[in-house]
Homo-oligomer: A and B are copies of this chain.
Amino acid sequence: MVDGMTKTIACVLYPGLTALDLVGPLQVFSVLAGVSPDYRVAVVGQDREVVDTDTPLGLRPSHTFDEVPSPAIVVVPGGGAPTWRAATDERLLAYLRQAAETADVVASVCTGSLILGAAGLLEGRKANTHWSHREFLAEFGAEPVAERWVEDGKFLTAAGVAAGIDMALHLVARLAGEEVARGVQFGIEYDPEPPQGPLDWTKAPHELFAAWTAAGMREGLAGTPLAERFLRE
């Protein structure tokens, strides 16, 4: 099934990530791969071991980084403290730099864009991340843009967590056409009815989330090379 014409979409796994950041786009791409022989999906990790998430669920990748060195599309999920830790993981950063050289699309969900930033891939690029972390993009030379997903060249960065589903459907439309994207959308019955309505950004709990963000950074970056840069008093 997998030949030279099949493009691999690699979703990256690392310990402690936000499960939905990964699984939203993964489900979209898996439906695409189910209807199009042009795509296959892999979940790539440093090894094949199960990793913990920010939920009680453990996740097991299908492939190692080494087994998928040159995916056509690579997607990096985000999270809290463990994502800051991952942003200092040289093996992960090296994998992303290498993949980015040949990939058609380098995507992220939520704070996954901070890992791309730490890999030096977002310098001079427009990008987004979880709303509570937007200010940190500038630390990596990126220009924060508050949109559901942001495209700049081969880089495609989504807003927080659930935005990965929107971004993935956008990417499917770009890759395979709107008709296929609509079919995938019917497949996952993505016809959202948030019971409290859309988010009212004038009521965003900025202070609460700023405290959580600071705590996550302290925990994730303690003792890492990024500590001095981000953990100022």
Contact = CB atoms under 8 A, between A and B. Distances in A.
A71 interface: no
Given A161-B187, A185-B199, A26 B43 contact: no
Given A18-B27, A26-B57, A173-B195, A162 B188 contact: yes
Interface string A169-189: 110010000100111011111
Contact of A60 (B50, B173, B203): B50
Contacts of A173: 195-196
A20 interface: yes
A196 B169 contact: yes
A165 B162 contact: yes
Instruction: Tell me if A's interface is mostly helix, strand, loop or mixed.
Output: mixed
A165 B204 CA distance: 20
Nearest to A182: B196
Q: Max chain B CB contacts within 10 Å: which of A19, A26, A57?
A: A57
A181 B54 CA distance: 18
Contact of A181 (B18, B19, B178, B196): B196
A166 B196 CA distance: 9
Contact of A185 (B43, B57, B191, B196): B196
A112 interface: no
Given A56-B62, A186-B199, 12 more contacts: A160-B188, A161-B188, A162-B192, A163-B191, A163-B193, A166-B194, A169-B194, A169-B195, A181-B196, A183-B205, A185-B196, A186-B204
Interface of A: 11, 18-20, 22-24, 26-27, 30, 41-43, 50, 54-63, 110, 130-131, 148, 159-163, 165-166, 169-170, 173, 178, 181-183, 185-196, 198-199, 203-205, 208-209
24 contacts: A19-B30, A20-B23, A23-B23, A26-B56, A41-B56, A42-B56, A43-B56, A50-B58, A56-B62, A59-B60, A148-B191, A161-B187, A165-B192, A166-B192, A166-B195, A181-B196, A182-B196, A186-B199, A186-B205, A190-B199, A191-B194, A191-B199, A192-B194, A192-B198
